[in-house]
Amino acid sequence: MTVIGATRNARPATRLTYASLRRHAPDGIRVLVADNGSTDGTLEDLRRLEWLTVVSLDERRRRAREEAAQARRTLEKLRRDLDALVAECPPGQRSVLDGLRTDVEIVVPDDEELCRHATALDWLAPQVDTPYFLLLDSDVEFLSPGWLEDLVALADAEGLAAVGEFEPGRFPCRDRLATYLLLLRTDVFRALGVPFRPLLRFGDPREEERWYARARHHVLDPSAFDGFPSAAFYDTAAVLFEHLQREGLPWRPFPSAVAAKFRHLGQMSWSADAHDDYVGVELLREHVRAAGEYAGARLRDHYGGGPPGRPPV
C-alpha cells in the first residue's frame, strides 16, 4: 500500500495526521508527502520521520527543470530528424513533411503551479507501485486501527475502483469523491489516464471567450459565475470521478464502521451553509484556526506533544 499526500503551512494538523497514521496503520506501508513550500516548520517536522519520504518544493523545482531540459533535448532531436527527412524527400513531397512542423514551447512550471495540491498529487501518483494507493490530506486524525485493512478488503471483495466520500457538486462545481481520504485502485487509475488537477470547462464557446477575456481565474466567489450558465468547474479529482462513472467502474462510500475510525478535521468548523458561499476567506481562516487548536490539543494529550514519530502506545 502507498499513501500520497501534500501539505503546506498546516503544522499542527499535519503532525496529528501523520502521528495518528503511524499509530493506526499497518507496518510496511509506503508514504510519500510533497511539501508545497511550508514556512512554519512543517517541512522540518516531516523530515524527522524516517518512515516516510518527503519531497520539498526545492526538490520538485529541481526535478521540473531537469525534466524540461530533457524534453527540450528530445524535441530538438525530433526537429533535426525531421529536417533530415525533408532534405531527402523529392521536392514535390516536402510540403507533406513540412506540415508536421509545429512550434512547441517547453515551459518549466512556476511556483504557483508547483504549489497546487492537485499538481503535487499528479507528481506523486506515477511513483506508486502497489495495487492500491491512498490520497491523504493533512487534516485527518485516525482514531483506531484496522481502517486501512478494512478498506482494502472491501475493494478486493467487490472489485472496486475507489472507496471514498461522495461530495455532491453545487453550481458550477461538479460531483467528486473527496480527496481528504480516498482509496484508488492503481491499474484503473492509470488506465483512465486523467490527472487530479482541477479543470474549468464551458459548454458555450462564447462564454469561455468572455470568461478568459476577464483575465480571472477560478475564485471562491459565487458571483464570479453569474452570466456563465454553461460553466463547469471540476475540483481536484472531479474529472477522475466523472470518468469512473462514464466507464461504469464501481466505487463505494466508506462503510460506517470504517468512517468511525477516523475524523476529518475539515468537517469540524464549516457552517451549515459554508458551501453556499464557496467557503469564504473569513470562514476558511476560522476553520484553520479551529483545526489547528484541536490538533495541538490532541497532540499534547495523546501523542506526547513532541515531534511526530511513532507516538507512545
Domain shared by 155 and 251, yes or no: yes
Domain shared by 228 and 252, yes or no: no
Return the minimum-mean-pLDDT range out of 192-206, 274-288, 294-308: 274-288
Q: 3-class SS at 157?
A: helix
Q: pLDDT tens-digit profile of 166-184?
A: 999 988 889 999 999 999 9
Q: Is position 91 within any domain?
A: no
Q: Is position 51 within any domain?
A: yes
Q: In the numeric block, which cell numbers belong to residue 225? A: 459565475
Q: pLDDT tens-digit profile of 80-138?
A: 887 787 777 777 666 666 666 667 777 767 777 788 899 999 999 999 999 999 999 99
Say what the pLDDT of residue 219 is.
Answer: 46
Domain shared by 210 and 223, yes or no: yes
Q: Is position 72 within any domain?
A: no
Domain shared by 122 and 219, yes or no: no
Say what the pLDDT of residue 113 is.
Answer: 78
Task: Please name the residues in contact with 102: beta carbons below 8 A apart, sequence gap of 6 or more.
Answer: none
Tell me how many domains the chain contains: 2
Return the minimum-mean-pLDDT range out of 22-36, 65-79, 152-166: 65-79
Q: Is position 159 within any domain?
A: yes
Q: Is position 124 within any domain?
A: yes
Looking up residue 160, the CATH number of its domain turns out to be 3.90.550.10
Give me the percent of the chain exceeding a pLDDT of 90. 55
Edge-to-edge strands of the sheet including 132-136? Answer: 53-55, 30-35, 2-7, 132-136, 181-185, 162-163, 251-252
Domain shared by 33 and 138, yes or no: yes
Exposure letters 178-210 (e unless 16+ CB within 10 A, then b): bbbbbbbbeebbeebebbbbbbbebeeeebbee
**DSSP string computed for 58-69:** HHHHHHHHHHHH
Domain shared by 203 and 185, yes or no: no
**CA dist., res. 118 & res. 133, Å (int):** 15
Domain shared by 119 and 47, yes or no: yes
Among residues 215, 234, 253, the one where a domain terminates is: 234
Of 22, 23, 24, nearest in space to 33 by CA: 22
Q: pLDDT tens-digit profile of 42-74?
A: 999 999 999 999 999 898 888 878 888 888 888
Average pLDDT of the chain, as a whole number: 85
Domain that holds residue 119: 2-57+114-196+237-273+280-302
Say what the pLDDT of residue 190 is.
Answer: 97
Q: Is position 84 within any domain?
A: no
Q: Is position 64 within any domain?
A: no
